[in-house]
Amino acid sequence: EIVLTQSPGTLSLSPGERATLSCRASQSVSSSYLIWYQQKPGQAPRLLIYGASNRATGIPDRFSGSGSGTDFTLTISRLEPEDFAVYYCQQYDNLLWTFGQGTKVEIK
Amino acid sequence: QEQLVESGGGVVQPGRSLTLSCAASGFTFSRSGMHWVRQAPGRGLEWVAVIWYDGSDRYYADSVKGRFTISRDNSKNTLYLQMNSLRVEDTAAYFCARELWGYYGMDVWGPGTTVTVSS
């Protein structure tokens, strides 16, 4: 089973700053199957990025994904107030879907 | 508008059973793979189970294998999760989600239903 480790656990930033979130896999992951979600308190997750770098419908272009193999990154170029949330990466391999433990982006 | 709505959550004693439902609307349910994902209080997301669009294949997380059964009724646009032999550690919000075809992600999510296993 592929384990995803997200870092940092918490990111404290101010609106307007750049956020860089890391997702590291215990084994190589197909880029096609690396996904990023955003979750706000009391809400369901929301699809942000699929295929490592493709923005989902309606996702602003300040969100971008990159990476390959075992190292993937979600970047938020300039944080807006609504971007403060928890972010999860997720992968698929061999009939198993796994999530990272999440990175909380909080207001500094 | 593509929508999923879960129901059936509640408080149940350890060892008992519960069935969750997920009603789909606004898209062709019978062409979509479907997942259940759960989230224990204050914790991260955990994938639970998946079922293929036609019900031909189903796969489970090790933590629920042999106790939970995912199923669907395409004539009713409804997904189910039969949960048997419930444990305290099954306490969570349960979300149904639509498979993002070709990418093995989840692109439409319900708001979730809460299951509490407690004596």
Of A46, A56, A88, the CB nearest to B44: A88
Q: Report the alpha-carbon distance of residue B55 to residue B97 in Å, rounded.
A: 15
Give the pLDDT confidence of B36-76 residue by residue, as tens digits.
Answer: 999 999 999 999 999 999 999 999 999 999 999 999 999 99
Listed in sequence order, the residues at least 6 apart from B76 whose beta carbon sits closer than 8 Å to its beta carbon are none
| B35, closest residue in chain A (CA to CA) | A97
* CA distances, A27 to each of A68, A98, B92, B108 (Å): 11, 12, 29, 28
The reported pLDDT for the residue numbered A46 is 98
Give the pLDDT confidence of B2-45 residue by residue, as tens digits.
Answer: 999 999 999 999 999 999 999 999 999 999 999 999 999 999 99
What pairs with residue A35 in β-bridges? Answer: A90
The reported pLDDT for the residue numbered A103 is 98
Rounded to an integer, the average pLDDT of A35-49 is 98
- pLDDT category at A24 given cuts 50, 70, 90 is very high
Distance from CA of A46 to the nearest CA of B (A): 7
Q: Where are the alpha helices (DSSP H) in A3-44?
A: none
Rounded to an integer, the average pLDDT of A79-96 is 97
Read off φ and ψ for residue A73, nearest 5 degrees: -135, 135
Distance from CA of B70 to the nearest CA of A (A): 15
> What length is written for chain A?
108
Residues in chain A closer than 8 A to B2 (CB atoms) = none
Listed in sequence order, the residues at least 6 apart from A66 whose beta carbon sits closer than 8 Å to its beta carbon are A52, A53, A72, A73, A75
